[in-house]
Amino acid sequence: MDENVKALLIPGFEDPETRQQYAASLLYAHIALQIKTLRQQRGWSQTKLAELAGKHQSQISEMESIDFSSWKISTLMKLAEAFDLALTVSFESFGTFLDEAASLGRDALERPSFADDPAFRGKAKKRVVLESGSSAQSSFETAQALPAPLEFRKRPNQIGSVSTSDDFLVGTNPPRVGHG
């Protein structure tokens, strides 16, 4: 963390009565700036995000201000859906919270939508083919350049397997089966 940022924030966390105030202000700033960063990362106007999230442009403008404090989980979930991202909410120690919430630069706040998420690059490839209408040859080349995609496949039951006909992920740790 930047020395100037440390100097501004860390002293406030030493006092039990004030650290919740600091945590709240920092949380509001983090949410507002991440919404703005994600919107700009996608090249969207406030109006475009408002349409996708079922809000008014003026509401998006308010939410992008670091002093906006009237957050609802339901609103954040709508925004997450608009950005094609997952929303996480968790309780943290102050140290962990500071490390994450006090990192407010653009690089720290940007997130890829599902289509560009490296963990699901196989799905991203399929989407590119569908949307761009590129040829089978170029699709094949794209597929060769990417790591093996994650796929859902059915496997026949094996002896000792607890699975019946459930789908499970190939290419990651398989489910544990066959106890005893």
Partner 1 sequence: MIPYELLTRKQDGAMEGLLTDWRLEARERAALNVMLAVLFQVDVNMAVGSVLYKEKQPGIYYAKATGKIQLRPRLCRGPMRPNDEVTFLVRAEERGGDTIPADAADRAAGIMKEIAKDDSRRRRYRPDPLRAK
**Between 28 and 82, whose beta carbon lies closer to partner 1?**
28
At its nearest, how many Å lie between partner 1 and the CB of residue 50? 14
**Between 13 and 82, whose beta carbon lies closer to partner 1?**
13
**Between 18 and 47, whose beta carbon lies closer to partner 1?**
18
- Which residues contribute to the site for partner 1 (CB under 8 A)? 2, 4-12, 14-15, 17-18, 21-22, 24-26, 29, 32-33, 36-37, 40, 61, 64-67, 69, 102-106
Distance between CA atoms of residues 39 and 54, nearest Å: 15
Distance between CA atoms of residues 62 and 67, nearest Å: 9
**Between 66 and 129, whose beta carbon lies closer to partner 1?**
66
At its nearest, how many Å lie between partner 1 and the CB of residue 10? 7
At its nearest, how many Å lie between partner 1 and the CB of residue 77? 21
Helix (H) or strand (E) holding 93: none
